[in-house]
Amino acid sequence: MYGYPGAAFADASGGRLGPDPKRTPDEPVTVTLAPGGSAWAGLRYANPEISGARTATPAALLVTPPDERKALKVRWKGGEVPVGGNASSVFLTVFSAGDGP
């Protein structure tokens, strides 16, 4: 894999909440996975209580792997996310091999 995943927050009916996350300026690298291997990408945003952003609680995060068109739907357990207003940007990092930080 190379680069960034696609990502979007979705409500229970599948409608998108807020703009798509922005990409961090990190330099993408190719991540080669062995069968059964894993990769991860970070997702970050300012705490909505501190930033004053409008919020919503997504039902799911839609994740699209590079060079794919079909998103994978993952149940969201992270609470409210910023979807508009002041300091509301959500950012994605590039892929890294492994299970996460």
- Asked if residue 32 is part of any domain, the answer here is no
- Report if residue 30 sits inside a domain: no
Q: What is the pLDDT of residue 52?
A: 72
Assess whether pLDDT exceeds 90 at residue 11: yes
Residue 91: predicted pLDDT: 87
> Per residue in 18-69, pLDDT tens?
888 889 998 988 999 999 999 999 998 877 777 777 889 999 999 998 888 9
The answer to the question of residue 86 being in a domain is: yes
Q: Which residues contact 65 (CB under 8 A, 6 or more apart)?
A: 1, 5, 6, 72
Assigned domain for 101 exists: no
pLDDT of 86: 62
Q: What is the distance between the alpha carbons of residues 85 and 77, in angstroms, rounded to a whole number? A: 22
For residue 28, being part of any structural domain is answered with no
Number of domains in the chain: 1
Q: Which residue has the higher pLDDT, 89 or 99?
A: 99
Identify whether 65 is part of a domain. Answer: yes
Range of the domain at 74: 6-22+39-94
Q: What is the pLDDT at residue 87?
A: 64
